[in-house]
Amino acid sequence: MADLTLGGADAVGHARAVTAPASVRARVHPAWWVAAVTFLALVGAAAFRAVPGVLIDPLRAEFGWSVTTISAAVAVNMALYGLTAPFAAALMERFGIRRIVMCALLVVALGSGLTVFMTSSWQLVMLWGVLVGLGTGSMALSLVATVTGRWFVARRGLVSGILTAGGAAGQLIFLPLVAWTDARWGWRVASLGTTAAALAVLPLVAWLLRDRPRDLGVTPYGGTAADDLEPVRTGAARNAVRGLVEGARTRPFWLLAVGFFICGMSTNGLVQPHFIPAAHDHGMPVTTAAGLLAVVGLFDIAGTIFSGWLTDRADPRMLLLAYYGLRGLSLFALPTLFGTDLQLSMVAFIVFYGLDWVATVPPTLALCREHFGLRAPVVFGWIFASHQLGSATAAFGGGVIRDVTGSYDLAWFLAGALCMVAAIASISIRRSPPPPAETMLPTNPQEAAAAQAHG
């Protein structure tokens, strides 16, 4: 626990500002409390993300909507989830992390709760798609980048892996719960349960989440006061757009964006919403399929944390090559694994896919920091937007393929082939030291300060 202690008596004194038991306050750096409550917020937001895959069939049965119609709402959700992320970082600069996260949880709860009153498909798009998409997008991986960038200098790779696993933990907790609740009481009760989960995290966010180390009189974990830069109150949104413009001028940005687009297609976009209906098509009970997808979440936690550990020690390009290549091979095999009975081969697929699910995030973040320096969180926000656009494409496209062909097989094969493309794109990225500050920061002093604050 030596690496968790605050450096010096003065730091220990400042740590008393953290509302935690006295024996813990004296030895745990506040950054770890911030990371912990951020993890819980991401788990709360992930509660809704467990809903669509389970509830596609119940909604079809009650309203007569096609898979394509329901998938359109999921696609809008995923697109907004990604496109909101770069601007969420700007809003966190302007209003603070805690306010934005609290508002985002309220929006998620509102969108999920109101679904119990819907009667037509456009309401599904507005609630599942727009409201929940905006809310969860405000707590997307840009939140991970912001928290790790502000609160940690040491252990960033490890912490980014742990926080990224928050979504997997939410899937692990809520997928079987939502499936069981739907089977017992119906989809409306399941939807209200996810609303309650988002609301339950609010008090903890208000209590423990802080915007910057200086708010508690400490320095970032493993860093100095110079690493805790001044917050930006104006011009942050302009800086987000500038981050896109500057990133788009470089080859690494496009290679990372292509890889992450395909990453989103092959996980959140295809497997998360369509695995359960596909398994049900082959005679597997919905609760069994939901349990398998929850197991993906269990191994996702382990895989992502381990990937963060590896990223601190290995070439991130080689990690991405392995992650995408092996994922593609597993998707080629998936159509042969479905059946009415649960076979060992399907369990093996689930374990591997869980380990690989978002293991791509820590090495992608590392390459962003390497190539874009102080602009990395903003640029990563746009790369993550490409991830969610890929998710939206596959969520909608998977539904269309199912309605047109009567099977998901073509979708699995296409996703597997694209994963091979992502592997090639990742290994094609050249290693580079961080760019000189003058090449990535604006010349205007005010804009330079705004750019630095995103580090």
d(CA 346, CA 116) in angstroms, rounded, equals 34
pLDDT at position 433, please? 59
Label residue 421 left, alpha or beta by phi (over 0 means left) and psi (-120 to 50 means alpha).
alpha
Smallest CA-to-CA distance from 447 within 438, 371, 96 is with 438
Q: Dump pLDDT digits (tens) for 177-220.
A: 888 888 889 888 888 888 888 888 888 888 888 888 888 888 88
Which two structure tokens, joined as six digits, stand for 427?
């290994």
d(CA 136, CA 148) in angstroms, rounded, equals 19
- Given a contact cutoff of 8 angstroms between Cβ atoms, the answer to whether 205 and 38 are in contact is no
DSSP H or E segment with residue 111: helix 97-113
Rg (CA), the chain: 21
- Given a contact cutoff of 8 angstroms between Cβ atoms, the answer to whether 382 and 247 are in contact is yes
pLDDT at position 233, please? 57
- Given a contact cutoff of 8 angstroms between Cβ atoms, the answer to whether 39 and 162 are in contact is yes
Q: State which of 131-145, 158-172, 350-364 shows the largest mean pLDDT.
A: 350-364
The dihedral through the CA atoms of 303, 308, 310, 315 has a sign that is positive
d(CA 23, CA 27) in angstroms, rounded, equals 7
* Domain definitions of the chain by residue range: 29-453
Hey, which residues does 221 pair with through a beta bridge? 152
pTM: 0.70
d(CA 139, CA 156) in angstroms, rounded, equals 18
Residues 6+ apart with CB under 8 A from 199: 105, 106, 109
3-state secondary structure of 247: helix
Q: Is residue 40 over pLDDT 80? A: yes
As assigned by CATH, the class of the 29-453 domain is: mainly alpha
Q: Where are the alpha helices (DSSP H) in 209-281?
A: 236-248, 251-264, 271-281
pLDDT at position 14, please? 42
Q: Dump pLDDT digits (tens) for 427-451.
A: 999 876 544 444 443 333 333 333 3
pLDDT at position 232, please? 58
pLDDT at position 17, please? 42
Q: What mean pLDDT, rounded, does the chain reach?
A: 80
Smallest CA-to-CA distance from 313 within 427, 423, 426, 157 is with 157
39 Cα distance to chain centroid: 11
3-state secondary structure of 221: strand
d(CA 231, CA 448) in angstroms, rounded, equals 12
Distances (CA, A) of 414 to 130, 244, 408, 411, 435: 28, 29, 10, 5, 36
Which two structure tokens, joined as six digits, stand for 370?
């390497």
pLDDT at position 2, please? 37
Q: Dump pLDDT digits (tens) for 59-72.
A: 888 898 888 888 88
Query: If you ran DSSP here, which 8-state letter would residue 219 be given?
Result: P
Residue with token string 């903003």: 378
Higher pLDDT, 438 or 38: 38
